A and B are shown apart, each in its own frame.
Chain A
Amino acid sequence: DQQVKQNSPSLSVQEGRISILNCDYTNSMFDYFLWYKKYPAEGPTFLISISSIKDKNEDGRFTVFLNKSAKHLSLHIVPSQPGDSAVYFCAASAPNTDKLIFGTGTRLQVFP
């Protein structure tokens, strides 16, 4: 049972345009959400997070939006750069647990 889903396995965007990566979840107990970026043969690195008490969090070119009623979050990258090409994982956590549940990942390719 996949509690965190990333339905788009890949996304291709032109440099300078906006990249939008989507993530859906099924567990209404989740209260903290994160995005990680992963290059091949490396470990994921933390990108940005959002608590369920917020609906938006911004950090430079990266913005995460949370729609609790739809159980949906999205990561916006603007403007997209070739160095953003990587696999992006969303992850979620429930209260009083250290475990993160990861989605299946979306491979973003930013082309010139």
Chain B
Amino acid sequence: DGGITQSPKYLFRKEGQNVTLSCEQNLNHDAMYWYRQDPGQGLRLIYYSQIVNDFQKGDIAEGYSVSREKKESFPLTVTSAQKNPTAFYLCASSIQQNYGYTFGSGTRLTVV
């Protein structure tokens, strides 16, 4: 079955530590995205990538970094510079010029 997998589902980290969230897709989609969901703020775009080895900042990229070394994978690193990292993180993918996103099931990150 084709799909998009985020792992882990729940993640706890101490303040000041970097943490990397995994996102893998086997849909052969070119574009991948990272969104963050906070209560009352909807989904906000962190980073996106339209092709391998290329990515662009979204609306709230500060404190985050990404890589796109393979078409299937788009990991997100939440760095210690991110002031409010506790949130629900969603990864998505789409075919270029196709506006339907397929979302993963999300990772809830809690920083203590």
Interface residues of A (CB under 8 A from B): 6, 9, 32, 34, 36, 41-46, 49, 89, 93, 98-105
Interface residues of B (CB under 8 A from A): 4, 6, 9, 31, 33, 35, 40-45, 48, 50, 58, 88, 90, 92, 94, 96-97, 99-106, 108
**Residue contact A42 to B100, C-beta cutoff 8 Å:** no
**Residue contact B99 to A43, C-beta cutoff 8 Å:** no
Is the contact region of chain A dominated by helix, strand, or loop, or is it mixed? loop
Q: Which residues of B contact A49 (CB under 8 A)?
A: 99-100
**Residue contact B97 to A98, C-beta cutoff 8 Å:** yes
**Residue contact B42 to A103, C-beta cutoff 8 Å:** yes
Choice from A6, A32, A42 contacting B99 with Cβ under 8 Å: A32
Expressed in whole angstroms, the Cα–Cα distance for A32 and B102 within the complex equals 16
Expressed in whole angstroms, the Cα–Cα distance for A34 and B100 within the complex equals 8
Q: Which residue of B lies closest to A51 (CB)?
A: B99
Expressed in whole angstroms, the Cα–Cα distance for A36 and B100 within the complex equals 10
- Most A CB contacts (10 A, CB to CB) among B9, B43, B94, B96 go to B43
Expressed in whole angstroms, the Cα–Cα distance for A102 and B46 within the complex equals 13
**Residue contact A98 to B92, C-beta cutoff 8 Å:** no
Expressed in whole angstroms, the Cα–Cα distance for A35 and B98 within the complex equals 15
**Residue contact B106 to A41, C-beta cutoff 8 Å:** yes
**Residue contact B42 to A43, C-beta cutoff 8 Å:** no
